[in-house]
Chain A
Amino acid sequence: MTRPHSLASANLGVSIGAFAIASAMGVLQALSVADVEFPHRDAGLYYLAVTAHGVLMALVFTTFFIMGLGYALAHEALGRIVGRTWAWVAFWMAAIGSTTAAVTILLGKSTVLYTFYPPLQAHPLFYIGATLLVVGSWIWGGVIIASHRSWRREHPGVPAPLSIHGMLATIIVWYLATTGLALEVVGLLVPWSLGFVTTVDPMVARTLFWWFGHPFVYFLVMPAYVIWYTILPRVAGGRLFSDSLGRMVFILFVVLSTPVGFHHQFADPGISAGWKLAHTITTFAVIYPSFVTAFTIIASLEVAGRMRGARGLFNWIGRLPWSDPVFASIALAMISFAFGGFGGAINAAYAMNAMVHNTAWIQGHFHVTLGTTVALTFIGATYWLLPRISGRPLRFRTLAIAQPYLWTAGMVLFSTSYHIAGLRGLPRRVYSAALSGSDGAAWQSLTVLAAIGGVILFVSALAFVVVAAGTWMSRRTDDVPAFEFAHALHPPAAIGIWDRFGLWTILAILLVAAAYAYPLMTLLAHPRYGSPGFKPF
């Protein structure tokens, strides 16, 4: 018989494999920047590692985890996965695409970083592989939507479970975001890399990339929120404080997460200051749902602490299950987001951005947000999912308990150092912080601290991979915990305004059109010169 969670298992397996390779690439970079010599250290390997780390961590590890989570939630919260055959087509497409792209990177044919800004030109199979991954994820989205529709027909008038509500919102954001990516990659880069056209306009490509680039991070953050809202309160032993605000939060992301891309392009020519300011306003607006989440989740944890017997003002914090690897991972991930959020507000602050743009500060920033908030939440959720989908209890529990704390310690060192070094002017992504000579004095000691953090992170990553692999290879038992989702203090009685996905999606599309139509038309209407491809690697 097919096991019910074979789809979730397959996707999770690829995600953990990608994570393992990407982690090794990460520690190489941290050491190289700090000028720590190791065998085969050279600039080519460094930039290759930056590309592989970015693509495998940010795109492959995350997307496969999210797909696996989606299947597990559909099966458990809706009792079905409609279109299993399509789901397997999607899996193989995404797996083959990711492998192809990864191979071109590891062979040194696509050292274009995960932003792949033209005129840097990768091997055509890099773009085609990435496209297959995205198309696979589109099919995955279709399967989740179809499963929800089937469930809805049997439950008229009942709001979707919050976990599914959040996944549907995630999928809508993903479709909005990847429209920009598809226009760039399929419309411009694939034909250009194959030689069908000789030039490509780098500004048009960059603008389409950042149409995708920021909602992409929400595609990663939203499943983390699904876990915070619907799994964490249960793991902590409490209740979800507010179900209805959770629904609102996910809808606000649908509406606001895409028309914000110019805050990544403040320093770019070709886009007027007025439009950059407009995107600044939407960028700050999209902070709001995270503020609401902060209250709801902390309140849910306080409920948990009090249900565990806490009475004082703060002692509920100590009562939380800090030695449960699932809880510890996710809770530490959330604490990290408080710092990441304020750093993000600085990056988005229009004029202040010039102080940090493209410095090591940015690396510091996305390692507390994506590298901790998202990654550690996904790691914690993997500790939760693995026993439940595989029928095997978690192995090496002590290692699993230490792992999130090690990660946090490593990241505090790494990220804090890079934030400060960035403020002192260290540019991001450099093979050696000494640059061309002895210019690194202002930040040398900081990069050494960051490298120590990187080694600690690598040890933590190894611990995670050992726990996951050990669990997978152990014997199946009947003694595994059940899938249990958080109960809300006040469950929703009927479908409300925040359940009307059609309405909000239309509003979101209108906002994307309003944010991009005029600036893109201005660019396209100007006399432009394309660029041929360059491969300086």
Chain B
Amino acid sequence: MGVERYEKIWMWGAGMLIAMFLGAISLTAGLDAVHPPSHLETVDPAALDTHPEFGKPSVTVKPDGSVVVTVVASMFSFAPDPIEVPVNRPVTFRLTSPDVIHGFQVVGTNANAMVVPGYVSEFSVTFTHPGEYLITCNEYCGIAHHAMVGKLIVKPELP
């Protein structure tokens, strides 16, 4: 297959550009453990009310100082609301839904995960700026999808 010289240069260049992209992604994934939320855990969506954890969605502080936020996203609200967490501390979100699929995005941060009934989504994030953040549902969940919002309050560290 005869390939013209300039086209050959272009093809090598394109190949190297793609290799560079993949290199950047693999390096951050491998060295800094930058991964999307990918937890595998199931829960009965019909029995969330009586579930020991998701029956009482709340913010809990573990003995080691880390924070766990249990969230139930349902048509058309988040619980708890508002969610209050401390600044500069790793916060682990655990989310599920009793009805349809929802989204959970803290606007202005990279906290962004799907919430799927029957499954627990889990990811950790450290908020570095105190303030109030908007939480949106970013997956269509029915007639009032646009009104499904919540509030996250990142509290400044105590002196």
Render B10-38 as a binary contact track against A, CB cut-off 8 A, 1 for contact.
Answer: 11001101100110011011000011111
Within 8 A of B (CB), among A1-56: 43-44, 47, 50
B154: Cβ under 8 A from any A Cβ = no
Contact B7 A119 (CB under 8 A): no
Return A347 CB to nearest CB of chain B, in Å: 12
Select A295's contact among B10, B34, B105, B146, beta carbons within 8 Å: B10
A353: Cβ under 8 A from any B Cβ = yes
Return A25 CB to nearest CB of chain B, in Å: 15
Select B119's contact among A119, A244, A269, A299, beta carbons within 8 Å: A269
**With contact pairs A50-B140, A117-B101, A285-B18 given, residues A271 and B38 touching in the complex (Cβ less than 8 Å):** yes
Contact A430 B145 (CB under 8 A): yes
Select B37's contact among A44, A113, A269, A287, beta carbons within 8 Å: A269
Count contacts between A and B, CB distance < 8 Å.
Answer: 215
Assuming A291-B14, A351-B34, A490-B2, what are 4 further A-B pairs, CB within 8 angstroms?
A269-B39, A425-B136, A436-B148, A534-B142
- Subset of 17 A-B contacts with CB under 8 Å: A47-B145, A120-B100, A202-B117, A203-B116, A245-B3, A267-B37, A268-B114, A276-B36, A285-B18, A350-B25, A353-B36, A354-B111, A358-B139, A427-B103, A435-B136, A490-B2, A536-B144
Select A436's contact among B36, B38, B108, B146, beta carbons within 8 Å: B146
Render B75-89 as a binary contact track against A, CB cut-off 8 A, 1 for contact.
Answer: 100000000000000
Among listed B41-49, B53-61, B63-71, interface-contacting one: B41-49
**With contact pairs A266-B36, A277-B26 given, residues A428 and B99 touching in the complex (Cβ less than 8 Å):** no
Which residues of the partner chain A approach B147 to less than 8 Å between Cβ atoms? 435-436
Which residues of the partner chain A approach B28 to less than 8 Å between Cβ atoms? 351
**With contact pairs A119-B101, A269-B121 given, residues A529 and B44 touching in the complex (Cβ less than 8 Å):** yes
Contact A354 B110 (CB under 8 A): yes
Which residues of the partner chain B approach A245 to less than 8 Å between Cβ atoms? 1, 3, 7
Contact A272 B42 (CB under 8 A): no
**What are the nearest 8 A-B pairs in CB distance?**
A536-B142, A425-B107, A291-B14, A358-B138, A427-B138, A430-B146, A436-B147, A266-B36
Contact A288 B119 (CB under 8 A): no
Which residues of the partner chain B approach A359 to less than 8 Å between Cβ atoms? 105, 138
Contact A358 B112 (CB under 8 A): yes
Which residues of the partner chain A approach B121 to less than 8 Å between Cβ atoms? 267-269
A366: Cβ under 8 A from any B Cβ = no
Q: Considering only CB atoms, which chain B residue lies closest to A120 in the complex?
A: B100
Which residues of the partner chain A approach B26 to less than 8 Å between Cβ atoms? 277
Where the two chains meet, the residues of A that have a C-beta atom closer than 8 Å to any C-beta of B are 43-44, 47, 50, 113, 117, 119-120, 201-203, 206, 241-242, 244-245, 248, 265-273, 276-277, 280-281, 284-285, 287-288, 291-292, 295-296, 299, 345, 349-351, 353-355, 357-359, 424-425, 427-432, 435-436, 439, 490, 496, 522-523, 526-531, 534, 536-537
Select B112's contact among A265, A267, A277, A522, beta carbons within 8 Å: A267
A435 vs B77: C-alpha distance when bound (angstroms): 12
Which residues of the partner chain B approach A248 to less than 8 Å between Cβ atoms? 1
Return A506 CB to nearest CB of chain B, in Å: 22
**With contact pairs A269-B41, A269-B116, A354-B112 given, residues A428 and B138 touching in the complex (Cβ less than 8 Å):** yes
Contact B112 A357 (CB under 8 A): yes
Contact B110 A355 (CB under 8 A): yes
Q: Considering only CB atoms, which chain A residue lies closest to B44 in the complex?
A: A529
B120: Cβ under 8 A from any A Cβ = yes
**With contact pairs A439-B149, A536-B142 given, residues A272 and B38 touching in the complex (Cβ less than 8 Å):** yes
Select B42's contact among A285, A295, A529, beta carbons within 8 Å: A529
Which residues of the partner chain B approach A267 to less than 8 Å between Cβ atoms? 36-37, 103, 112-114, 121
B157: Cβ under 8 A from any A Cβ = no
Which residues of the partner chain B approach A345 to less than 8 Å between Cβ atoms? 21
A281 vs B6: C-alpha distance when bound (angstroms): 27
Render B118-149 as a binary contact track against A, CB cut-off 8 A, 1 for contact.
Answer: 11111000000000001011111111111111
Contact A276 B100 (CB under 8 A): no
Return B111 CB to nearest CB of chain A, in Å: 8
Q: Pick the most buried of A288, A355, A530, A531: most chain B CB atoms within 10 A of its CB.
A: A531
Q: Pick the most buried of A47, A349, A355, A425: most chain B CB atoms within 10 A of its CB.
A: A425
Which residues of the partner chain B approach A530 to less than 8 Å between Cβ atoms? 118
Return A228 CB to nearest CB of chain B, in Å: 16
Select B35's contact among A273, A284, A296, beta carbons within 8 Å: A273
B158: Cβ under 8 A from any A Cβ = no
Which residues of the partner chain A approach B35 to less than 8 Å between Cβ atoms? 273, 276-277, 350-351
Select A273's contact among B38, B42, B44, beta carbons within 8 Å: B38
Return A112 CB to nearest CB of chain B, in Å: 8
A531 vs B21: C-alpha distance when bound (angstroms): 39
Which residues of the partner chain B approach A490 to less than 8 Å between Cβ atoms? 2
Which residues of the partner chain A approach B7 to less than 8 Å between Cβ atoms? 241-242, 245, 295-296, 299
Select B100's contact among A349, A427, A534, beta carbons within 8 Å: A534
Which residues of the partner chain A approach B101 to less than 8 Å between Cβ atoms? 117, 119-120, 202, 206
Which residues of the partner chain B approach A349 to less than 8 Å between Cβ atoms? 21, 25
Which residues of the partner chain A approach B138 to less than 8 Å between Cβ atoms? 357-359, 427-428
Return B17 CB to nearest CB of chain A, in Å: 8
**With contact pairs A244-B1, A270-B40, A432-B146 given, residues A536 and B100 touching in the complex (Cβ less than 8 Å):** yes
